[in-house]
Structure 1
Amino acid sequence: MSVPLYQAKAELFRTLGHPVRIRVLELLQDGPKPVRDLLAAIDVEASNLSQQLAVLRRAGMVTSHREGPLVTYALSTPDVADLLAAGRRILGAVLTDRDALLVELRGDQQRDAGRDR
């Protein structure tokens, strides 16, 4: 029995709900990287990185390839990079809206303070 599409989407976004996983995906946007390079770029224990890579692999967001002792990871599809870019755009819009609201709020506070004098 298959799950509804909305449930599958929710699971996809839960997979993205960890900072180390997001950082790994960001690093892989530039191309495949061996685990040692990921470890050097992310300040986590090797065991933690391994767990997060396993989650990403199970979710189908990354693929791995072994050549001797070297394990290399890559994004499974360019759409993962597109999703990260969309997240950045959404975050930028949300933060811009908040900044505009904060400026407006501060302006209102200054006007109100001027009236009290």
Structure 2
Amino acid sequence: MLIAETLMSGEKCVCDLQVLVGADMSTVSKHLTLMRKAGVLTCEKRGLNIYYSLACTCLGTFLRCLDELVPEVDACGTSCCD
């Protein structure tokens, strides 16, 4: 979800996403490929770099809505609904 949330602010180069995630490039590329095949992301190659963006601009609204639905976790690691 970190990648999708980051892309809500606009397209990013795969190298920027790799730094953000903190994983090796092959792992990040695999995740991006899965998200692209699922229809969540689009990509565009420019020179040696590949830029990713959200395929649907309303995805950001959906993710923010999900954040509101997830119960907060208190300091002891349990949600309010347990």
TM range (shorter): 0.7 to 0.9
- 3-state SS of 1:30 partner: coil
Q: CA deviation at 1:95?
A: 2.2
Match for residue 68 of structure 2?
A: 89
The one-character-per-residue Cα deviations of 1:81-102 (angstroms, maximum 9, x if unpaired) are: 11111111111xx22770xx78
Partner of 1:50: 29
Taking structure 1 as the reference length, the TM-score comes to: 0.61
**Larger gyration radius, structure 1 or structure 2:** 1
Higher helix share: 1
CA distance in 2, matches of 1:53, 1:39: 10
User: Within 2, Cα distance between the matches of 1:48 and 1:90?
Assistant: 29
User: Pairwise mapping of residues 23-38 of structure 1 onto structure 2 (< 5 A)?
Assistant: 23-38=2-17
Q: How many residues are aligned here?
A: 77
TM-score by length of 2: 0.85
Q: Which amino acid aligns with 2:11?
A: P
Tell me if 1:65 matches 2:44: yes
Runs of 4+ in 1 over 3 A off after TM superposition: none
* Matched residue, 2:76: none
Higher relative strand content: 2
Question: Secondary structure of the residue that 2:52 maps to in structure 1?
Answer: strand
Q: Which runs of 5+ in 1 are unaligned?
A: 1-21, 103-117
